Amino acid sequence: MPQENPLSHVVDHPTLDLPFWKAPYSVEIELPHVLGFQMTRLMVMELIAAVAIAAILIPLARHASRNFVTRGRFFNIFEAIVMFLRDQVARPAIGDHGADAYVPYLGTLFFFILFCNLMGLIPGGASATGNLNVTAALAVSTLAVVVGSGMREMGVAGFFVGIVPHLDVPGWIKPALWGLMFVIELLGLLIKHFVLAMRLFANMLAGHIVLTVVLSFVLMAGKWIAVVAPVSIAGVVALSLLELFVAFLQAYIFTFLSALFIGLVLHPH
């Protein structure tokens, strides 16, 4: 059973473990198959994050379109984040010309990653971004935007030719060197997005493993539980505060690097 293994918190499985106020302190719910696919708890977490984004950003966009000045703490907080992503992420990384067109994608990316990260700090929840499949899908989405933007800007042939920097070498060696540089630059493009996925995955997975291991000390304390439990719980509280910071930081880093990759392909060598 998932609750028998403390590390099951960082592993996906087809059940939801909802916290309960008395023994056995959790209720396990089997998730159904939908259209032939087995639902898992990370899928549920992603769905909750997506619904939360729609519930927040759609009313925010409607409110901003109707009001010249945003009123209310709720809308002001999220509008400040969106403005920060536009002014401090999209425009510096992509350039003032055309950067605003990418703000919806970057904003959706930021909030989705942030909400998925925060889900792991909620009892009974889990961080979908601690799964490589999820972060890989996010990186592939950014890769598709990068390649699509480059092709739209320079054409299909122009994009692939443009990824190779200008070579100031003798003509007899240029074809062979250009071919080598093309392979290197193409691999570099793919590797950058692979590292993008691995960075987010490794940071979120490592944080939750540490939290789980520290909390599991209580289960192994035996007769020393009166001494170990307060220390373990205090450590988890401190690490949870650090994870709260990391949740925002990793969402920002992923979004900023995505904007940077888009800017690099729109403004080649």
pLDDT tens for 98-140 read: 889 999 999 999 999 999 999 888 877 888 898 899 999 999 9
User: In the chain, where are the structural domains located?
Assistant: 2-266
* Per-residue pLDDT at 63: 82
Range scoring the smallest mean pLDDT among 6-10, 43-47, 51-55, 141-145 = 6-10
CB 79 within 8 A of CB 64: yes
Please name the residue that has the structure tokens 């998932």. 2
User: Cα(123)–Cα(27) distance, rounded to whole angstroms?
Assistant: 12
Q: What is the mean pLDDT of the chain?
A: 84
* Per-residue pLDDT at 168: 72
User: Cα(35)–Cα(241) distance, rounded to whole angstroms?
Assistant: 39
* C-alpha distances in Å from residue 217, one per residue of 3, 24, 123, 172, 191: 15, 19, 18, 67, 38
The residue-averaged pLDDT of 199-224 equals 79
Question: Could you report the per-residue pLDDT of 202-212, keeping only the tens digit for each?
Answer: 988 888 788 77
* Per-residue pLDDT at 224: 73
* Per-residue pLDDT at 23: 53
Range scoring the smallest mean pLDDT among 14-18, 39-43, 220-224, 257-261 = 220-224
* Per-residue pLDDT at 4: 45
* Per-residue pLDDT at 101: 92
Q: How many CA atoms lie within 13 A of 169 on its CB side?
A: 11
User: Cα(85)–Cα(259) distance, rounded to whole angstroms?
Assistant: 10
More confident residue, 262 or 125: 262
* Per-residue pLDDT at 3: 43
Q: How many CA atoms lie within 13 A of 127 on its CB side?
A: 29
* C-alpha distances in Å from residue 246, one per residue of 142, 238, 249: 21, 13, 5
**Which letter does DSSP use for residue 28 in this model?**
E
Please name the residue that has the structure tokens 């209720």. 27
